[in-house]
A and B are shown apart, each in its own frame.
Chain A
């Protein structure tokens, strides 16, 4: 195998916008594909930090008789209480993993939530 040829082609390809280059010697066949011709991979990125439910259960913002208002746009400190998920025999506290701004609140008082369900999205400071 002509490794020199391979190195030359690779170096040359770097100077072009080609994504694929096929070459056959006998029968003279060249096939090229540009970057645009390739299907673009779908990628979602989220700059917000999700806070997910630590258990399957019922979400409560605060203990009975107490009130905790969580509004989109409010500032949250790391470790701040974000409510509880109550199971048949336990209570799992939810705290903010980061300091920042509360951007999305999906948690609803008294709603059933499953493990891993995003309850909040926080924009990190």
Chain B
């Protein structure tokens, strides 16, 4: 271990987030004996995170730019309440380097990577360059922003290609271009979307891997150069690049591939001098060849899947790393697969009508329970879901010794979960766990779209 240990235990942590993730963090803080400060926008006054924290302060009006995205208000709240660290959760400002900088400048610790690491890995073309340098395969592509010679660049890569916004995320500013004839049109669309969503129209190209799997590796790195990688998560069940189901380990990945994935993830993290917990995302071809996609420099929504498989509290690990503690976990311990786990993201959306958001009052709330079940949620009977924020209302995490028993348990849990008053994605999850391809483990990022197309066809005939 290089360097002297420099450990500063936190006394009070402000959570710059809302919803289930704020609760998730408060729970770990309580177990660690650290005081918690919740922040809330006007619409969240009666939210559970406000009630469960040791202190709560109102930081602004309901729209997130005025509250949960308001760096000035969040840093002021942390200063006024005497917090010594800030946990950003996921979404909102969790991958915003300006926020990390502002927190540090105000004399507090940002629980996450350094602003430099966020900035470096946040720009996808820079992240790719880091991976390449570390000797990790990336999908053949433009290796940087494309200029006026984009036609030649695209030809060199070979169609089909993917056009991606440099600052993109969540599927925005991303366009598949199957043949050269579509290139000009797709370029314009992708650049327009990138400009509108991220204020930056720079794009890059990547070869389009057909029928790929989205495989990601959870990592943790401390201030002393120790890095561990956990068993992979398969997040191929996506609709329009939004994950719906995540499972670990992947039914497609064997032990040898798993070791290769973990090695590749550790290489990227070491090369970026990354600190904290993070996720290295890969695209896996049907040949089991995998390519680096990006690094998520935050705690992810689906982190409980890994927690179940490895038996570790990732939020606690994140806080300990931020306090300057070295990792005590060995790679062998981290890579241990104790069980099979799956997460169902339950959103207040009408899956029968194109997943339209359904905010409203939860009149009845009976979550699933029993052996191998974890429900992370901020719902309660009588709670009104505000329309300002995302529609995630619960994460149902199910574990079992193997995948067959896991799916049986998932079916049981989804059937007993009662949410009254609002439409949810539970019925869609039930379709997923009964879909023959899913049951057989034949998953790729296009499966959900195929399921929906099949259903539409059946309805029409």
Q: Is there an interface contact between B72 and A115, defined as CB atoms closer than 8 Å?
A: no
B106 surroundings in chain A (CB, below 8 A): 88
Q: Does B61 contact A (CB under 8 A)?
A: yes
State A89–B103 Cα separation when bound (angstroms). Answer: 12
- Please indicate the chain B residues that have their CB under 8 angstroms from the CB of A57 in the complex: 76, 80
Known A56-B59, A57-B80, A116-B58: A87·B73 in contact at CB below 8 Å: yes
Q: Are B58 and A88 in contact (CB under 8 A)?
A: no
Chain A's nearest CB lies how many Å from the CB of B16? Answer: 13
Which of A58, A89, A112, A115 is close to B59, meaning CB atoms less than 8 Å apart?
Answer: A115
When each residue 54-65 of chain A gets 1 if its CB lies under 8 Å from chain B and 0 otherwise, what string results?
A: 011110000000
Residues of A within 8 A of B59 (CB): 56, 114-115
Type the 1/0 row for B373-388, where 1 means its CB is closer than 8 Å to any CB of A. Answer: 0000000000000000
Known: A56-B77, A116-B42. Contact between A87 and B60, CB under 8 A? no
Query: Which of A56, A57, A58, A114 gathers most chain B CB within 10 Å?
Result: A56
Q: In chain B, residues 70-95, which have Cβ atoms closer than 8 Å to a Cβ of chain A?
A: 72-73, 75-77, 79-80
B58, A55: Cβ atoms under 8 Å? no
Q: How far is the CA of A59 from the CA of B102 in the complex (A)?
A: 22
B115: Cβ under 8 A from any A Cβ: no
* Interface residue? B433 (CB, 8 A): no
Say whether A87 contacts B57, CB under 8 Å.
no
Interface residues of A in 28-74 (CB under 8 A from B): 55-58
- Chain B residues with CB under 8 Å of A112's CB are 80
A81 vs B140: C-alpha distance when bound (angstroms) = 62
Q: Assess whether A114 is in contact with B72, with CB atoms less than 8 Å apart.
A: no
Q: Are B73 and A115 in contact (CB under 8 A)?
A: yes
Q: Is there an interface contact between A56 and B42, defined as CB atoms closer than 8 Å? A: no
How near does chain A come to B43, taking the closest CB pair, in angstroms?
A: 12
Report A83-125 residues with CB < 8 Å from chain B CB.
87-90, 112, 114-117
Indicate if the CB atoms of B76 and A87 lie closer than 8 Å: yes
Report chain B residues within 8 Å CB of A116: 42, 58
Count class of interface residues, chain A: 10 to 19
Secondary structure type dominating chain A contacts: loop
Contacts of A117 in B (CB 8 A): 58
Cβ–Cβ < 8 Å partners of A56 in chain B: 57-60, 73, 76-77, 80
Bound form: Cα–Cα A88–B76 in Å? 5
* Docked pose: A115 CA to B72 CA in angstroms: 12
CB distance from B286 to the nearest CB of A (A): 51
A15 to B424, CA, bound (A): 48
A114 B79 Cβ-Cβ under 8 A = no
Q: A55-B60, A56-B57 are in contact. Are A88 and B79 (CB under 8 A)?
A: yes
Closest B residue to A85 by beta carbon equals B76
Please indicate the chain B residues that have their CB under 8 angstroms from the CB of A55 in the complex: 60, 72-73, 76
Residues of chain B within 8 A of A90, CB atoms compared: 72
**A88 & B75 in contact (Cβ 8 Å cutoff):** yes
Find out whether the CB atom of A114 lies under 8 angstroms from the CB atom of B57. Answer: yes
Complex: A115 Cα to B79 Cα, angstroms: 15
**B42: min CB distance to chain A, Å:** 6
Q: Are B58 and A115 in contact (CB under 8 A)?
A: yes
Alpha-carbon gap, A118 to B42, bound state (A): 14
Query: For the complex, what is the distance from the CA of A115 to the CA of B22, rounded to whole Å?
Result: 20
Chain A nearest CB from B68 CB (Å) reads 12
Among A87, A88, A115, the residue within 8 A (CB) of B61 is A115
A115 cross-chain contacts in B, Cβ below 8 A:
42, 58-61, 67, 73
Report yes or no: B57 in contact with A89, Cβ–Cβ below 8 A.
no
Q: Which residue of A lies closest to B66 (CB)?
A: A115
The complex places the Cα of A10 from the Cα of B106 at a distance, in Å, of: 67
A55–B79 Cα gap in the complex (Å)?
A: 14
Query: B34-76 CB contact bits vs A (8 Å, 1 = yes)?
Result: 0000000010000000000000011111000001000011011
Identity of the chain A residue whose Cβ is nearest the Cβ of B61 in the assembled complex: A115
The residue in chain A whose Cβ has the minimal distance to the Cβ of B42 is: A116
Min distance, Cβ B37 to any Cβ of chain A, angstroms: 12
Measured in the bound complex, the distance between the Cα atoms of B70 and A87 in whole Å is 11
CA distance A90 to B72 in the complex (A): 8
Q: Cβ of A88 and Cβ of B72 under 8 Å apart? A: yes
Question: A106 CA to B42 CA in the complex, in Å?
Answer: 20
Cα distance A2–B297 in the bound complex, in angstroms: 69
CA distance A112 to B80 in the complex (A): 7
| Shortest Cβ distance from residue A88 to the other chain B in the assembled complex, whole angstroms | 5
Within 8 Å CB of B79, what residues of A?
88
| Neighbouring A residues of B61 by C-beta, 8 Å | 115
In the A-B complex, the 4 residue pairs with the smallest Cβ-Cβ separation, listed nearest first, are A87-B76, A114-B58, A115-B58, A112-B80
List 26 A-B pairs, Cβ < 8 Å. Answer: A55-B60, A55-B76, A56-B58, A56-B60, A56-B73, A56-B77, A56-B80, A57-B76, A58-B80, A87-B72, A87-B73, A87-B75, A87-B76, A88-B72, A88-B76, A88-B102, A114-B57, A114-B77, A115-B42, A115-B58, A115-B59, A115-B60, A115-B61, A115-B73, A116-B42, A117-B58
Given A56-B58, A87-B73, 14 other A-B residues pairs in contact with their CB atoms under 8 A = A55-B60, A55-B72, A56-B76, A56-B77, A87-B76, A88-B75, A88-B102, A89-B72, A114-B58, A114-B77, A115-B42, A115-B59, A115-B60, A116-B42
Q: Which residues of A contact B (CB under 8 A)?
A: 55-58, 87-90, 112, 114-117
Report B's interface with A, CB cutoff 8 A: 42, 57-61, 67, 72-73, 75-77, 79-80, 102, 106
